[in-house]
Amino acid sequence: MPFKKRVPETLPSVEQVESELKNINYKKKFRRTLLSTVSILIVVAAIAVLMSTLFFPVVQVVGKSMEPTLNEGDILVLVKSDKVTYGDLCCVSWQNKSLLKRVIGLSGDMIEIDGDGNVFINGALLDEPYVEEKMLGKCEIEFPYKVPENKVFILGDQRETSVDSRSSAIGCVGTDQIVGRVLFKVWSKK
């Protein structure tokens, strides 16, 4: 018995073949584009993490010690630097916590806070429009107070409740404890 050659009953048309080739090429192009996009996103994410870790840390405000300037839940971008000056908002590391406070005094400054909460730096009254209610608050240091070398004197804007350089637990913070200055607010709940 001779072998019969099997011939498909119907051959695809030229249009069908061209259509299938287009589908195959589209799938290849889609895979390349998808892999390229995913690769780019991974590189961008890695660069963002690296930048945030090395140069621009991102922190979230916890607590009310800096209200009304900063509110709980605000997300801030810092510039990593220990170079701060009067009035700067900065993040300091204290006992594995990050504290956001305002720089009031620098090394060698004489700080005085009277019973009404007025702050004097080197004898000059400090203008503090960011403080809603001036008060001495909980204070465990004696005035006049001289800021030690390589330290900064920090205060929260909510003087009644803020734990800051007036507390013997925190005191003046070393420049090595400064994580960075607040650069800008990314997100605000209010």
* Gap between the Cα atoms of 127 and 13, Å rounded: 86
Cβ-in-10-Å burial (0-12, 13-18, 19+) of 46 comes to exposed
pLDDT at 4: 66
Q: Per the omega criterion (within 30 degrees of 0), is the bond before 2 cis? A: no
Would you call 89 helix, strand, or coil by DSSP?
strand
Select which of 65, 151, 162, 165 is catalytic.
65
- Contact between residue 109 and residue 126 where contact means Cβ atoms under 8 Å apart: no
pLDDT at 6: 66
Q: Please tell me the CATH code under which domain 58-187 is placed.
A: 2.10.109.10
- Contact between residue 131 and residue 144 where contact means Cβ atoms under 8 Å apart: no
CA atoms within a 13 Å half-sphere pointing along the CA-CB vector of 75: 6
pLDDT average, residue stretch 148-163: 92
Query: Is pLDDT above 70 for 78?
Result: yes
- Contact between residue 177 and residue 93 where contact means Cβ atoms under 8 Å apart: yes
Q: Where are the domains of the chain?
A: 12-54, 58-187
List residues bridging with 103 in a β-sheet.
154
pTM: 0.74
pLDDT average, residue stretch 37-57: 86
The answer to whether residue 65 is catalytic is yes
Select which of 22, 80, 101, 189 is catalytic.
101
The answer to whether residue 83 is catalytic is no
Query: Is pLDDT above 70 for 43?
Result: yes
Q: How far is CA 61 from CA 65, 69, 128, 182, 186, in A?
A: 10, 11, 21, 11, 11
pLDDT at 5: 66
